Chain A
Amino acid sequence: MIIVKHELKQGRTAFWIWAGSIAALLGICIFLFPEMKSEMDTVSDMFASMGAFTAAFGMDKLNFGTLIGYYAIECGNVLGLGGAFFAAICAVDILSKEERVHTADYLLSHPVSRVRIMTEKLASVALRILVMNGLIYLISIGSMAAVGESVPWKEVNLLHLAYFLLQLEIAGICFGLSAFLTRGSVGIGLGLAALLYFMNLIANITKSAEFLKYFTPFGFCDGATIVDEGKLDAGILAAGLALGALGILAAYLKYPKKDIR
């Protein structure tokens, strides 16, 4: 656990900035809900008449006048995108940073196998994602209770579970990339997270691009579908988790044999 501890210590500032920002944004949005609820009928009508844009964000299926309808969209944008960026940054840099900042000689000249180093680093990424999501979940639930709304437990739990799995999938893919990269990893990670987000928007807009949902974790995080059906799409979820697992597998195949420059 030495490397897990070391990684958590190294990444603590970034962790608090990201977790704090996402949690604060979600909290603020929830605190704004009671004030906005009265105006939501007009807002819902307006959002429902925006054509492709409405479909892209799933606003044609959700009622903005309810807390869960409002939260599902807000959650998708704040926790979905913010969490995806955080997971990508954490994972894509976790192995490659050792070469980028030239600490690889220090770390890898100690009697610890590369597989162990990778496993502990991966665990540290997963732990950061888990703690961040736990924190955000508690703040969201607390904020809902604080504004006097009853918590729609099932939907909220499903939404948070979906975004947690989304972050794990992105982390898995980015961990795989990290084993191959030496420089520019953060930009690549952020770019990948944004690409996956936009792939889902495209899949929502056109029927012919619906297959893209199987290649992006945002596909199984669609708030409208989750709230509407009360479950996660198992097929898309399985495809997503398989992609994440492939990323991790690629890292384990590459990094133990990688020449460290």
Chain B
Amino acid sequence: MEAILTKELTKYYGKVRGITGLNLSVAEGEFFGFIGPNGAGKSTTIRSLLGLISPTSGEAKIFGRDIRTEKEAILAECGYLPSEAIFYPGMRVKDAIRLSADLRRKNCSEEAERLCERLKLDPSRKIDELSFGNRKKVGIVCALESNPRLLILDEPTGGLDPLIQHEFFEILRERNEKGTTVFLSSHVLSEIRRYCRRAAVIREGKLIACDSVEALSKTNARRVSVRGQVDLEGLDGLRDVTRTEGGVSFLYSGDMHPLLQRLAGSEIADLNVTEPDLEEIFLHYYQKEEA
């Protein structure tokens, strides 16, 4: 069964584009990455799925339930962590966690206690006095304490220190192994590479790629770094050309033969050809049409 399924999901804010014709499918039990630049439509997608905004057209289902008509049943099975975890003024950590459990009509005190311990969160502290990272931890506990079938996490690691980030992903990995579907919207590509099996890339409100992280990472482009003088004028398949003192670095996805000819005719002190890293590949997705 699909945990998330959208068909031609479209959202316009008046005349402003949110997302257009989004077709997305996330199977139950997947650890799924959702990536895209700022303003691409990631939050619009998430907010539509959670019923915070109504889609202009198209349809979306979570565990086979329609987001328009079965919102409460869907939310009962979802844990959501917004990118900015904001709570009511004057509340203590334990109050926010308790209120979240009460709104779900569940007693989650044992699980909440376990999570607080693992994330090193003091439940007696006032939320107003907490740092951004610690407020995020409160949001994580609220999202996870009821053991939901689907976790929707929007930029979950912002503000968390590396040790807590590691612990957080360990918790997610454990939950995922037990069958929880994790939908992770993130800018941090190393997180996507390390934890997600599949990922989708969204740009300008449209889904431009959706595949296994391995397949998305595959490219025939190479990062070429040259120390010396080389004339690149007229070469096809050049991207991200960075000139430095005494050299040049670029991504090359064209025919190797003309590049080798140029290099052979140049004065080169050193040459390095490597596979581009994941960041560079996704940057390529982000900037595809501009290139």
The answer to the question of B53 belonging to the interface, with a C-beta cut-off of 8 Å to chain A, is yes
Task: Say whether, besides A101-B86, A103-B86, A103-B88, A110 and B52 are in contact (CB < 8 Å).
Answer: no
The answer to the question of B184 belonging to the interface, with a C-beta cut-off of 8 Å to chain A, is no
A187-214 interface (Cβ within 8 A of B): none
Please list 28 pairs of residues, one from A and one from B, whose beta carbons are closer than 8 Å in the complex, sorted by A's number. Answer: A2-B102, A6-B88, A10-B89, A101-B88, A101-B89, A102-B84, A103-B86, A103-B87, A105-B80, A105-B82, A105-B86, A106-B96, A108-B50, A108-B52, A109-B52, A109-B75, A109-B82, A110-B75, A110-B103, A111-B72, A112-B72, A112-B75, A112-B103, A113-B71, A259-B52, A259-B53, A259-B54, A260-B52
Measured between beta carbons, the chain B residues less than 8 angstroms from A10 are: 88-90
Instruction: Report Cα–Cα, A257/B104, bound state, in Å.
Output: 22
Measured between beta carbons, the chain B residues less than 8 angstroms from A112 are: 72, 75, 103
A121 to chain B, nearest CB (A): 13
The answer to the question of B76 belonging to the interface, with a C-beta cut-off of 8 Å to chain A, is yes
The answer to the question of A104 belonging to the interface, with a C-beta cut-off of 8 Å to chain B, is yes
Instruction: Report Cα–Cα, A220/B104, bound state, in Å.
Output: 44
A107 to chain B, nearest CB (A): 8
Q: A6-B99, A257-B54, A260-B47 are in contact. List 6 more A-B contacts (CB 8 A).
A: A2-B102, A3-B103, A6-B88, A111-B72, A111-B75, A259-B13
Find the B residue at minimum CB distance from A110: B103
Instruction: Report Cα–Cα, A113/B53, bound state, in Å.
Output: 14
B103 x A111 contact (CB < 8 A): yes
Give the contacting residue for B142; candidates A101, A106, A111; CB below 8 A: A106
> A interface vs B, CB < 8 Å?
2-3, 6, 10, 101-113, 257, 259-260
> B interface vs A, CB < 8 Å?
13, 47, 50-54, 71-76, 78, 80, 82, 84-90, 96, 99-100, 102-104, 139, 142
Measured between beta carbons, the chain A residues less than 8 angstroms from B84 are: 102
B104 x A110 contact (CB < 8 A): yes
B81 to chain A, nearest CB (A): 9
Instruction: Report Cα–Cα, A110/B104, bound state, in Å.
Output: 6
Closest 5 CB pairs of A and B: A110-B103, A111-B76, A111-B75, A109-B80, A259-B53
Measured between beta carbons, the chain B residues less than 8 angstroms from A3 are: 103
Q: In the complex, which of the residues A103, A107, A109, A257 has the most CB atoms of chain B within 10 Å of its own CB atom?
A: A109
B171 to chain A, nearest CB (A): 19
Measured between beta carbons, the chain A residues less than 8 angstroms from B54 are: 257, 259
Instruction: Report Cα–Cα, A5/B285, bound state, in Å.
Output: 49
Instruction: Report Cα–Cα, A106/B96, bound state, in Å.
Output: 10
Measured between beta carbons, the chain A residues less than 8 angstroms from B100 are: 106, 110
Measured between beta carbons, the chain B residues less than 8 angstroms from A259 are: 13, 52-54
Instruction: Report Cα–Cα, A112/B100, bound state, in Å.
Output: 11
B78 x A109 contact (CB < 8 A): yes
Instruction: Report Cα–Cα, A159/B234, bound state, in Å.
Output: 89
B75 x A106 contact (CB < 8 A): no
Instruction: Report Cα–Cα, A103/B128, bound state, in Å.
Output: 13
Measured between beta carbons, the chain A residues less than 8 angstroms from B52 are: 104-105, 108-109, 259-260
Task: Say whether, besides A2-B99, A2-B102, A259-B54, A106 and B82 are in contact (CB < 8 Å).
Answer: yes
Q: In the complex, which of the residues B13, B86, B103, B142 has the most CB atoms of chain A within 10 Å of its own CB atom?
A: B103
Q: In the complex, which of the residues B50, B52, B73, B80 has the most CB atoms of chain A within 10 Å of its own CB atom?
A: B52
Find the A residue at minimum CB distance from B80: A109
Instruction: Report Cα–Cα, A6/B103, bound state, in Å.
Output: 11
Instruction: Report Cα–Cα, A107/B100, bound state, in Å.
Output: 8
Measured between beta carbons, the chain A residues less than 8 angstroms from B99 are: 2, 6
Q: In the complex, which of the residues A3, A106, A257 has the most CB atoms of chain B within 10 Å of its own CB atom?
A: A106
Measured between beta carbons, the chain A residues less than 8 angstroms from B102 are: 2
Task: Say whether, besides A10-B90, A103-B86, A109 and B50 are in contact (CB < 8 Å).
Answer: yes
